[in-house]
Amino acid sequence: MAAHLKKRVYEEFTKVVQQQHEDLSSKKLRLTKPSKSAALHVDLCKATSPADALQYLLQFARKPVEVESVEGVVRILLEHYYKENDASVRLKIASLLGLLSKTAGFSPDCIMDDAINTLQNEKSHQVLAQLLDTLLVIGTKLPENPSVRMRLVEVACKHLTDSSHGVRNKCLQLIGCLGPVEKGAAKEAESQAAKDVQKIIGDHFHDQDPRVRTAAIKAMLQLHERGLKLQQAIYSRACKLLADDYEQVRSAAVQLIWVLSQLYPESIVPIPSSNEEIRLVDDAFGKICHMVSDGSWVVRVQAAKLLGSMQQVSSHFLEQTLDKKLMSDLRRKRTAHERAKELYSSGEFSSGRKWGDDAPKEEIDTGAVNLIESGACGAFVHGLEDEMYEVRIAAVEALCMLAQSSPSFAEKCLDFLVDMFNDEIEEVRLQSIHTMRKISNNITLREDQLDTVLAVLEDSSRDIREALHELLCCTNVSTKEGIHLALVELLKNLTKYPTDRESIWKCLKFLGSRHPTLVLPLVPELLSTHPFFDTPEPDMDDPAYIAVLVLIFNAAKSCPTMPALFSDHTFRHYAYLRDSLSHLVPPLRLPGRKLVSSAVSPSITPHEDPSQQFLQQSLERVYNFQHLDPQGIQELLEFTIRDLQRLGELQSELAGMADFTATYLQCQLLLIKALQEKLWNVAAPLYLKQNALASAAAKQILEETYKMEFMYSGVESRQVVIIHHMRLQAKALQLIVTARTTRGVEPLFGMCEKFLQEVDSFQRCFISELPHMQGSFVDKLLDLMPRLVTSKPSEVVKILQTTLRQSTFLHLPLPEQLHRATANIIEPTGESDNPLRFTSGLVVALDVDATLEHVQDPQGTVKVQVLYPDGQAQVIHPKPADFRNPGPGRHRLITQVYLSHTAWTEPCQIEVRLLLAYNSNRSKASTRLPKSTWSESLEALPPSENGIEGTIPFSKPVKVYIMPKPARR
């Protein structure tokens, strides 16, 4: 029976069968082929007017054409093409030809000659352009046929003299895409026919039509992309194009210049007006900088973006971009930045400005002032002040890239970046904060700059504040006043926006550990200790006080003299915080305090090694338990699980690993318990209790295996096999339990069939892994497969039971990195006693804010679940835009959940939690197919496997108090 079954499965779903299918259909096609093209032929002949013909063609274009019949259709179309007088119909035919030659599997070289022939007699420019487009398609379909390409290029060259811009456009495009790239290969052909593609294209740089000019530059860029080395001679011509009247031309020219500057950075070009010469990259840089003040914003954006990637430019030029000489009435004036710097260096800070403080100082020589410099002067100053925020963002990005490669430039651009923190558009502010973070390794903030940076902490946008916290995490501050200032502002922020608590603590943690020496002199003040008097003990639950302590403890980590300044309660608080906020408070060596020193950590030496070892050891112990008695095994497992869980809590780096193994062992433990022999031998009436236990165990194992498979990132196929294996065992257990409880054989047939199918698919999916599974359940099962498929359900069950019991426990190899997906709902906090009141029948929006860690593709998997007190559950799919990605592996969900219910008499709590949705064939376990082949794999899989979808709750539920009021009439 099962054999038959298996065969059927194969027949229906395997590739072999599909092949047959194809054969069949192709046979059919051969039959219908003439009829299909004939139908078109008839249609076209029937058409009385061009409009009719066009209609037929349009209809025809909607239907796909099989590979085999393409050629026939093409012939008919061509035939009709020659007869047709109306240009619009010919145009449609030409475009159809292009479409048809795109058909996968069809080799268009057979229709190329015809297409080229049609070109010769064509009068309409539009049709010509379309035909060239078709040729382009044909050419790109035949990449490894140089002679065809040569021919096409030749054709294109011939039509370059056409009077219509559309035709010339297409010709250039064709040459750009198909022109010969490598010099050596077809030297002869090249020299005679398509002499020098670059020269041909270059000639069209001065075409009268701007569209053709653009196309020429684009074609040149296309050639470059395909690997042709552009000649340096083009540079001077491209420079002239920068002054073109049309923005597309300028935009393309900027790109071309950039390409050339990357190709020939070191060659020397003369400066037109003088005898001097400079490096090409510098010259190009100057030219592109000039374009930052172009009239069209599209060009400005383009120029600003490209500036960022010109890293070979010499520092002299680079620094000019930030230079803008101020003057007032012909006298030199200092910029506000310079003044701020001076104030700072003279030791005076934050003086109120008087009128005339910025009064111009020295006279400047009128001749020396260059108002419109040809060089790079002030490009970024202009870019950052641009009207369009797109340009500003591009400028900030470019600034970032350049600053990353040049520390001195980073130092210089700091003032400008800090200024951008006050931009009117939030995106720009955010971008500049991110930029600052990226270059923060190269810079140290001056106090006045820090002041401006910190002022942004009061921003009402959470994104901005959090970006700023991230920035502060990795900034260098120069003075202790700076640290103090930062702390004060952060505390201010904390009181204003209490929800920022976590982020502020984290920020202070890094701030402290980066500047231990600067924090040291501040300690007495921060802890408000007094040399003679005892001060009152601060409130331990005050977030602000915790913030201060986090700063101090992290600084104390590398500053051994600091603990001497602590008072008694500080040590107590340390112990408390070390336990409750272990991720923020580092282990400290505290002299003479036995309270802390011994218990947790005797040293600051790296911890990973011993705990890693511990993990390995405990696992090995478990895997070698075969010789133990069942009782012993159970105990050992229980202990190990407990150890692992504790380890996970203590060592955050190993948490994923420990949890993962603990879960696995838990499954094993459950399985062992469920299979305990003595319980199975009891008489039938007592099954009940036994069944309840076993089926519960099976159910739990199933759940746990799904968790293992989908909640951890970094799971490799080796683990997936074992997880699936465990699941298979659970299913076997389920089968056994049901077999023993249900009467009659009929339902069992179906179940057995299903189970065997699963075994089968398991075998197919993991065929490569099977050799590693010696002695396992599935290994034995597969040995018995021939027997199983022929035997009755009752026998199957029996076999299963014995195999289950005899099978060995599989060793779970651990991957390098394993992280458990976690979610933490920050908002709603669930602490409010005030119910959210709303009129029943209407909706109320609940803001949900959660952090997700190690979730792959959260947009697709994370859902919000709302549980109402009446048991009603609602699953909400957040919009993709609600997810932000603040860092690798971390996501943030900020969304609104709409609640509604009928009227209640009194307020009640609802539960909000996050779910992780999974779909068993999405990960298609073993194979881990890349996304692109996803649809194919779907087809290849038996439908029985598609079904398993489900959700795993992976956050703590949060209770929200709501109260739908009855509507008032």
* Contacts to other proteins by CB under 8 A: 161, 163, 206, 208, 245, 293, 295, 324-330, 333, 335-337, 352-356, 366, 369, 371-372, 378, 381, 384-389, 416, 419-420, 422-425, 452, 455, 458-461, 496
Between CA 588 and CA 440 the distance in angstroms is 28
Q: Which is nearer to other proteins, 435 or 822 (CB)?
A: 435
Contact 806, 780 (CB under 8 A): yes
Q: Which is nearer to other proteins, 320 or 651 (CB)?
A: 320
Between CA 203 and CA 404 the distance in angstroms is 39
Q: Which is nearer to other proteins, 352 or 771 (CB)?
A: 352
Q: Which is nearer to other proteins, 263 or 381 (CB)?
A: 381
Q: Which residues pair with 959 in a beta bridge?
A: 911
Q: What is the CA radius of gyration of the chain?
A: 37
Between CA 222 and CA 298 the distance in angstroms is 20
State CA 244 to chain mean position distance. 39
Residue labelled with tokens 């005898």 = 275
Q: Which is nearer to other proteins, 464 or 814 (CB)?
A: 464
Minimum gap (Å) between residue 537 Cβ and other proteins: 30
Contact 912, 960 (CB under 8 A): yes
Minimum gap (Å) between residue 245 Cβ and other proteins: 5
Residue type, 964: P
Minimum gap (Å) between residue 163 Cβ and other proteins: 7
Minimum gap (Å) between residue 244 Cβ and other proteins: 9
Q: Which is nearer to other proteins, 218 or 465 (CB)?
A: 465
Minimum gap (Å) between residue 177 Cβ and other proteins: 24
Q: Which residues pair with 950 in a beta bridge?
A: 918
Q: Which is nearer to other proteins, 447 or 945 (CB)?
A: 447
Between CA 361 and CA 329 the distance in angstroms is 10
Q: Which is nearer to other proteins, 424 or 629 (CB)?
A: 424
Q: Which is nearer to other proteins, 144 or 424 (CB)?
A: 424
Minimum gap (Å) between residue 490 Cβ and other proteins: 16
Minimum gap (Å) between residue 862 Cβ and other proteins: 28
Checking 941-949 for CB contacts under 8 A at 24+ apart, the result is: 941/13, 942/9, 942/12, 942/13, 942/757, 942/761, 943/13, 944/754, 944/757, 944/758, 944/761, 945/761, 945/920, 945/921, 946/920, 946/921, 947/920, 948/919, 948/920, 948/921, 949/917, 949/918, 949/919, 949/920
* Half-sphere CA count of 174, side-chain side, radius 13 A: 32
Q: What is the DSSP letter of 537?
A: P
Q: Which is nearer to other proteins, 355 or 533 (CB)?
A: 355
List the helix and strand counts (H, then E) for the chain: 44, 16
Minimum gap (Å) between residue 619 Cβ and other proteins: 53
Q: Which is nearer to other proteins, 460 or 834 (CB)?
A: 460
Minimum gap (Å) between residue 150 Cβ and other proteins: 25
Say which residues have a Cβ less than 8 Å from residue 642's Cβ, sequence separation at least 6: none
Minimum gap (Å) between residue 243 Cβ and other proteins: 9
Q: Which is nearer to other proteins, 422 or 872 (CB)?
A: 422
Between CA 199 and CA 647 the distance in angstroms is 70
Minimum gap (Å) between residue 338 Cβ and other proteins: 9
C-alpha to C-alpha distances, 777 to 273, 518, 729, nearest whole angstrom:
86, 63, 7
Indicate the angle between helix axes 501-514 and 462-473, nearest 10 degrees: 20
Minimum gap (Å) between residue 464 Cβ and other proteins: 8
Q: Are strands 908-919 and 949-953 parallel, antiparallel or unpaired?
A: antiparallel
